[in-house]
Amino acid sequence: MTFDTLGLRPESLRAIADQGYTQPTPIQTQAIPAVLTGQDLLAAAQTGTGKTAAFVLPILQTLHATRAKGPVRVRALVVVPTRELALQVEASLRTSGAHRPVRSAAVFGGMRLDRQVRALRKGDEVVVATPGRLLDHVRQRTIDLSHVEILVLDEADRMLDMGFIHDIKRILQLLPAERQSLLFSATFEPRIRRLAEDLLREPVSIDVAPRNATAAPIRQIVHPVDRHQKRHLLAHMLRRDAGQTLVFTRTKRGANRLAEQLGKAGISAAASHGNKSQSQRVRAGDAFLGGH
């Protein structure tokens, strides 16, 4: 199977080739043709499976095929759980649309609202947003969702874990009833199926995320170690491999303590959790993405 068998136009195929991709992943193989036909979609796919391109590529093509003269309006809305994912999806829109671009914007918390307002006023066909910040713009009347033709809920299971269900329901009430809706989740757990029943109409169902499976690029290694030696082993491993590393702790207090201990050991580290302010989490995320 190759990308040119999925119904994509030459400009999309050129953008794919520019990025060095030659063969579609399973989620792309199944999702792209379905989205191009205008069907609703319920897809189970883990991070690292190529799911972002699975909806970005057909959305770009659909928007170009149905573009009408007149003012630029928000025609596609992608709702995501985090700032980092919003930036990732918006970057994918730009790279995948390199040879036939659409105007897009990412809106999320931790960034000044007025700066985002100025960006939105320029006119965007695609908006990628976190739920809370999107509703902030709705309340400020700085975004109009009445012309949305395509809705994507990406990593819907994470949004439910983070308590966004009520925000999602409010967003759905603001959208036209006649639209194409795509829901992506790591699993088809019962609460996702309940959300899908309210959101989707006769969806195509795709499951490329076997339960408890690890995404293909990830290798898992277990190091049995005494509890009191964990920090020393971690410091040793970080010194040996100076790459970017995410470390998960059981408690917020434990994250603060570990970051402090690693700092004293000469290893740059920052804690990020729910007790930190949004600006603190943004700084920690920026430092991590920048390799600092």
Instruction: Give residues with Cβ within 8 angstroms of 47, minimum separation 6.
Output: 155, 186, 215
Q: What does the pLDDT read at residue 67?
A: 84
- State phi, psi for 32 to the nearest 5 degrees: -60, -50
Half-sphere exposure of 269 (CA within 13 A, CB side): 23
C-alpha 41/C-alpha 217 separation (Å) is: 25
Tokens of 158: 């994470």
pLDDT at 111: 79
- Which pLDDT score is estimated for 279? 67
Q: Is 49 helix (H, G, I), strand (E, B) or coil?
A: coil
Chain-centroid distance of CA 245 in Å reads 20
pLDDT, position 68:
77
Distance CA 24, CA 33 (A): 12
Q: Which helix (H) or strand (E) holds 150?
A: strand 150-153
Cβ–Cβ under 8 Å, residues 238 and 267: yes
Tell me which residues of the chain have a pLDDT lower than 70. 209-217, 242, 277-279, 289-292
Structure tokens at 82: 């985090």
| Per-residue confidence (pLDDT) for residue 104, from 0 to 100 | 94
* pLDDT on residue 278: 62
Phi–psi pair at 76, nearest 5 degrees: -135, 135
* pLDDT for the residue numbered 214: 57
**What CA–CA distance (Å, rounded) separates 239 from 263?**
12
Contact (Cβ atoms closer than 8 angstroms) between residue 100 and residue 64 = yes
pLDDT in tens, 215-233: 556 778 888 999 889 988 9
- Tokens at residue 109, please? 């918390």
The pLDDT assigned to 92 comes to: 95
* Whole-number pLDDT of residue 292: 57
Rounded Cα gap, residues 290 and 244, in angstroms:
9
- Locate 149 and state its tokens: 């033709």
pLDDT for position 217: 62
Strand-pair partners of 42: 183, 205
> Which of the 8 DSSP states describes residue 155?
S
Q: Would you say 252 and 275 are in contact if contact means Cβ atoms under 8 Å apart?
A: yes
- Terminal-residue alpha carbon distance, the chain: 40
Q: How far apart are CA 185 and CA 86, in angstroms?
A: 16
Residues contacting residue 222 through CB under 8 Å, at least 6 positions apart: none
Residues in contact with 132: Cβ distance below 8 Å, sequence separation at least 6, in sequence order: 109, 164, 167
